[in-house]
Chain A
Amino acid sequence: MTQLPGLLDTEAIRKDFPILERQVHDGHRLVYLDNAATSQKPTQVLDALADYYEKHNANVHRGVHVLAEEATALYEGARDKVAAFINAPSRDEVIFTKNASESLNLVANMLGWADEPYRVERDTEIVITEMEHHSNIVPWQLLSQRTGAKLKWFGLTDEGRLDLAGIEELITEQTKVVALTLVSNIMGTFNPVEDIVRRAQEVGALVVVDASQAAPHMVLDVQALQADFVAFTGHKMCGPTGIGVLWGRQELLNDLPPFLGGGEMIETVTMHSSTYAPAPHKFEAGTPPVAQAVGLGAAVDYLSAIGMDRIHQHEQALTQYAVRRLGEIPDLRIIGPATAEDRGATISFTLGDIHPHDVGQVLDEQGIAVRVGHHCARPVCLRYGIPATTRASFYLYSTPAEVDALADGLEHVRNFFA
């Protein structure tokens, strides 16, 4: 077996993920390389979900009975865990949402309804990038269409990186908000957020970071990042679906208006008007995803016990190996950074003129799960003149043997369609 420096003890880790034992298509061991879409869940998380529903289930807050108090403690405890995980200065800066898309839509709507100086309106500008996931494009398009604000974006270099050459013309005195991803979900690129934050601060624009592909894979420190909002989702980091996070700076959360109205987000309500609870509850209308938050808390515990820096090292080693192995395959073109530097363990590629759906289907017949298509980042495909890509994405339980399985599988695909 291939030994690489920096690898985690995957033999032990994989025991926590029963699904990885599955066999598919007549006895092929599952090789799960679709982690950028969603991660698998360890028994620690599954047990936390079952335990919550079996022993503590109740609606949160305002209950005076035992279960309500336990459920509230577990839900708010999950908030503490997430706050510590991202090094938030205050737990009240952590808003639970349904997913990263909802987090980003929430910010866009806060800014659309805000008073000065945050209000996005006609004669102001929104700046995004060409490598965003659709969930960090469409909310800004909607905001732009509804307010008349101008939408601008950073283009990409041929190497799959942000083209920062025109940064001073892009981020101007008119710019109210800059939204960008920390790690590309299609190309794996790490973006130089600090350069963009510096420029945004010069002109007084807010910075929104989509950390959906970063939070699962590396140390995420919102204070070091210096952004104003950071969004991510639970299900890509060993947590359940239905739970996302929006972190925002306290003073902004105090000043900005709520978006969804309903139970839990109020202070007092009369038939004429209402006053609102302080953040984070101001932004959490309705019964929240309690069990899912508890599950995310368990996921954060699980990842922290292993260590985000060690997970990052593991993935760096795997990426280096994968880039090398994939580079040996004739006609394979990596879309995005072609080396392991400043990139994550998500690798998109094309294989000659074989359509990605055919690549994915023949890999699936061998038990290898990858994703094919435009990965909700269609502008990237347009930029590089391709209809779609095949994407392999790795995680803490991925092994060099799985990289080998992918490389062998791709050779088989080539022969199959030759």
Chain B
Amino acid sequence: MYQEVILDHYKNPHGRGLRDGDAEVHHVNPTCGDEITLRVRYDGDRIEDVSYDGQGCSISQASASVLNELLVGKELSEARSIQEKFLELMQSRGQLEPDEHMEDLLEDAVAFAGVSKYPARVKCALLSWMAWKDATAKAFSGEEATAQALGTTEADSAKEKTA
């Protein structure tokens, strides 16, 4: 479960610290008390920055670092497919063997495949990703978006609005 890649990200996190953003969210994982405050900054549909601060276990902290490394600079549509693929991997209960396509798409995030075998830890790995999704919805639809309304349709309509 603790791949070298994960430990590297935990010990030397990418992009940690809060910087200016278009929207901020605070997410908590009540089972182990992991917390993250995350901000997103967009330039049109391009992710300019994902900054974050928080505390918690190595899995949640490393996952936020991987997210920053993977998503900054990407177009929203691509970032969304990465997020969805990561979600699929984390919900696979260890049954999914990452293929070449997945490895290309997820890069370092593939290292979390082993975490999906531990139901208690999946939430730790997903914490920052859910926060990013939430913050993105908030950034694009301003006041209208709520933490609950996060499905693909909302993200789609948010995208149309800015297009």
A residues in contact (CB < 8 Å) with B: 354-358, 361-362, 365, 372-374, 381, 387-388, 416-417
Contacts and interface: CB of A to CB of B under 8 A. Distances in A.
Interface SS majority for chain A: helix
B55 A387 contact: yes
A358 B33 contact: no
Given A373-B32, A387-B55, A388-B33, A357 B121 contact: yes
Nearest to A362: B2
Nearest to B31: A373
Interface centre among A357, A362, A372, A416 (most CB of B within 10 A): A357
B7 A358 contact: no
Instruction: Report, as a range, how many residues of chain B touch the other chain.
Output: 10 to 19
10 contacts: A355-B32, A355-B57, A355-B58, A358-B57, A361-B1, A365-B1, A373-B31, A373-B32, A388-B32, A417-B7
B32 A361 contact: no
Given A355-B57, A358-B58, A361-B121, A372 B32 contact: yes
Contacts of B2: 361-362, 416
Contacts of A357: 32, 57, 59, 120-121, 124
Nearest to B61: A355
Contacts of B11: 417
Contacts of A388: 32-33
Given A417-B7, A417-B11, 11 more contacts: A355-B56, A357-B121, A358-B58, A358-B59, A361-B2, A361-B118, A361-B121, A362-B2, A373-B33, A381-B33, A387-B32
A410 to B, nearest CB: 16
A355 B60 CA distance: 10
Contacts of B121: 357, 361
Nearest to A353: B55
Interface string B1-37: 1100001001100000000000000000001111000
Contacts of A354: 58
Contacts of A417: 7, 10-11, 58
B64 to A, nearest CB: 14
A366 to B, nearest CB: 13
Q: Nearest 3 CB-CB pairs, A to B?
A: A387-B33, A355-B57, A357-B57
B121 to A, nearest CB: 7
B90 to A, nearest CB: 16
B57 to A, nearest CB: 4
Contacts of A381: 33
A373 B29 CA distance: 12
Contacts of B57: 355-358
B113 to A, nearest CB: 16
B9 to A, nearest CB: 13
Contacts of B7: 416-417
Contacts of A361: 1-2, 118, 121
